[in-house]
Amino acid sequence: MEITLDLFFENLENEKIVELFIKGPIWEPLKKLKEFLNDTVPELQLKIPLREPLSKSVFVTVEGEVIPFEELEEFEGSYYYQGKKVEGAIFYAGVVLMDKKIHFETGVKVEPFAIIKGPCYFSKGTEIRHSAYLRGSIYTGEAVVIGHTTEVKNSIFLAWAKAAHFAYVGDSILGKGVNLGAGTKLANLKFTQRKITFKINGQTVFTGLKKMGAILGDKTQTGCNSVLQPGTLIGKNSYIYPCSSAGPGFFPPRSKIKKSTYQT
Q: Render pLDDT for 76-130 as a digit per residue (tens, 0 to 9).
A: 889 999 999 999 999 999 999 999 999 999 999 999 999 999 999 999 999 999 9
Strands 66-68 and 58-61: antiparallel
Q: Is residue 9 a part of any domain in this protein?
A: yes
Q: 3-state DSSP call for residue 165?
A: strand
In the chain, the number of structural domains is 1
Ranges 52-56, 153-157, 259-263: which has the least confidence: 259-263
Across 73-104, b (16+ Cβ under 10 Å) vs e yields eeeeeebebeeeebebbbbbebbbbbeebbbb
Contact status, residue 173 vs residue 155, Cβ threshold 8 Å: yes
Q: Is residue 73 a part of any domain in this protein?
A: no
Q: 3-state DSSP call for residue 35?
A: helix
Q: Is residue 186 a part of any domain in this protein?
A: yes
Expressed as residue numbers, the domain containing 149 is: 5-41+118-257
Q: Render pLDDT for 48-80 as a digit per residue (tens, 0 to 9).
A: 889 999 999 999 998 888 999 999 999 988 999
d(CA 104, CA 231): 30
Q: Is residue 262 a part of any domain in this protein?
A: no
Q: Is residue 56 a part of any domain in this protein?
A: no
Q: Is residue 89 a part of any domain in this protein?
A: no
E strand or H helix at 79: strand 78-81
Q: Is residue 87 a part of any domain in this protein?
A: no
Which position has the higher pLDDT, 204 or 252?
Answer: 252
Q: Render pLDDT for 220-242 as a digit per residue (tens, 0 to 9).
A: 999 999 999 999 999 999 999 99
Domain with 24 in it: what CATH number? 2.160.10.10
At residue 264, the pLDDT reads 43
d(CA 207, CA 40): 25
Ranges 1-15, 20-34, 81-95: which has the least confidence: 1-15
Q: Is residue 69 a part of any domain in this protein?
A: no
pTM (predicted TM-score): 0.95
